[in-house]
């Protein structure tokens, strides 16, 4: 993974700002556990990143980010939140919808290498292809980045402040969308594995309204089957100029077919290429969030 330059952010001071109803404390700059540079944003860094601050601001799905900790895949309701349609977000109880298939084991049993999120997700997709091939068509991979290669994400395990805010150059997640429901698998999040799409977006991305435009998040969405057949990386982006590893590589051979194409997945300037289509945050919500209207 490429590394963002810490010099792009001013970290000379530390303050506290209210962002989307929560407090984001100072933290300085550190190399992320994923090998890409991750800024645990100090106050002056957030002053550049944040366009405006407000308590109880709505998330991209139209809900505040004040969630009950029980609102994970089990179908529990959210607290103090409003959906994109202005109603309470729909988390149907288990008796109203069939239980989602457990297409992946618990996170601790999945193949995982720090710093190699694209390969971690490739391994998740490969596991689904082997164990639940009929479900692969309902899976998509989302590469998250922007032209600046600085994307703020909350609830990240490597975040050092109260809100777990991290600034990545890019990240990769898996979406499973078998019906009107969608869940997200993110091995770097401190949310449940998986988490309902609504909760994940609300707590991880919140809203673009509080961010300067250059920090807005974009998503290249790729069908999982296409990702499995086309992704190729020689891992050279994880090598320093002297040939040493920024972070140790996985203990299996590279997922490499002779030509590395990672940059094509990370390109957030070409709306659609052979691998997938770019979505804004709101377009992603409209694509994967379909609240069920219960009578």
Contacts 24+ apart (CB under 8 A), 235-242: 235/116, 236/260, 237/1, 237/2, 237/262, 238/1, 238/35, 238/115, 238/116
Catalytically active residues are 117, 171, 186
Contact 59, 202 (CB under 8 A): yes
What pLDDT is stored for residue 18 in this prediction? 32
Q: Which of 62, 70, 66 is closest to 88 using CA atoms?
A: 62
Q: What domain range includes position 140?
A: 6-288
Alpha helices (H) along 110-260: 117-131, 197-204, 224-230
User: Does 15 map to a domain?
Assistant: yes
Q: Quote the pLDDT of residue 51.
A: 67
pLDDT at residue number 129: 98
Q: Residue 295 falls within a domain, yes or no?
A: no
For residue 294, tell me if it sits in a domain: no
Tell me what pLDDT residue 58 has.
Answer: 62
- The confidence score (pLDDT) of residue 150 equals 96
Query: What's the pLDDT at 23?
Result: 29
CA 50/CA 266 separation, integer angstroms: 23
For residue 1, is it within any domain?
no
| Separation of first and last alpha carbons in the chain | 47
CA distance 84 to 291: 9
Check residue 293 and give its pLDDT. Answer: 55
pLDDT of 6 reads 36
Q: pTM of the predicted model, to two decimals?
A: 0.77
Tokens representing residue 47 in the block: 């002053």
By CB atoms closer than 10 A (0-12, 13-18, 19+), residue 250 is middle
pLDDT for the residue numbered 57: 53
pLDDT in tens, the chain (295 residues): 433 443 343 333 333 333 333 323 223 223 333 445 455 555 556 667 776 444 445 667 765 544 333 334 443 333 333 333 334 444 444 456 788 999 999 999 999 998 899 999 999 999 999 999 999 999 999 999 999 999 999 999 989 888 999 999 999 999 999 999 999 999 999 999 999 999 999 999 999 999 999 999 999 999 999 999 999 999 999 999 999 999 999 999 999 999 999 999 999 999 999 999 999 999 999 999 988 654 3
Assess if residue 224 is contained within a domain: yes
Residue 293 lies in a domain: no
**Number of domains into which the chain is organized:** 1
Tell me what pLDDT residue 47 has.
64
175 domain-assigned: yes
* Nearest residue to 141 (alpha-carbon basis) of 198, 223, 217: 223
Q: Tell me, what CATH number does 191's domain have?
A: 3.10.620.10
- Beta-carbon count within 10 A of 13 CB: 11
**Residue 71 forms part of a structural domain:** yes
- Closest to 73 (Cα-Cα) out of 104, 95, 94, 103: 94
State residue 48's pLDDT score.
72
């Amino acid at each position: 993974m490429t590394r963002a330059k810490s010099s792009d952010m001013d970290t000379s001071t530390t303050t506290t700002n209210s962002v989307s109803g929560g407090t984001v404390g100072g933290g300085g700059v550190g190399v992320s556990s994923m090998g890409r540079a991750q800024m645990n944003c100090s106050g002056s860094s957030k002053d550049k990143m944040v366009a405006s601050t407000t308590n109880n601001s709505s998330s991209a799905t139209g809900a505040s980010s004040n969630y009950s900790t029980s609102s994970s895949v089990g179908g529990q309701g959210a607290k103090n939140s409003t959906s994109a349609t202005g109603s309470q977000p729909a988390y149907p109880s288990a008796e109203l919808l069939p239980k989602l298939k457990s297409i992946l084991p618990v996170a601790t049993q999945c193949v995982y290498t720090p710093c190699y999120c694209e390969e971690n997700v490739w391994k998740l997709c490969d596991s689904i292809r082997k164990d639940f091939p009929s479900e692969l068509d309902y899976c998509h991979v989302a590469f998250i980045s922007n032209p600046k290669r600085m994307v703020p994400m909350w609830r990240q395990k490597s975040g050092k402040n109260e809100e777990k805010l991290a600034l990545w150059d890019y990240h990769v997640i898996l979406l499973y969308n078998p019906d009107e429901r969608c869940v997200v698998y993110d091995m770097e999040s401190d949310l449940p594995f998986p988490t309902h799409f609504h909760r994940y977006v609300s707590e991880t991305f919140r809203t673009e309204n509080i961010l300067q435009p250059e920090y807005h998040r974009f998503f290249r969405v790729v069908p999982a089957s296409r990702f499995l057949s086309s992704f190729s990386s020689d891992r050279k982006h994880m090598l320093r100029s002297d040939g040493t590893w920024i972070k140790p590589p996985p203990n299996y051979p590279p997922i490499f077919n002779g030509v590395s194409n990672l940059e094509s997945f990370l390109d957030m300037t070409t709306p659609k290429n052979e691998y997938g289509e770019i979505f804004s945050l709101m377009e992603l919500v409209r694509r994967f969030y379909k609240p069920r209207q219960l009578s």
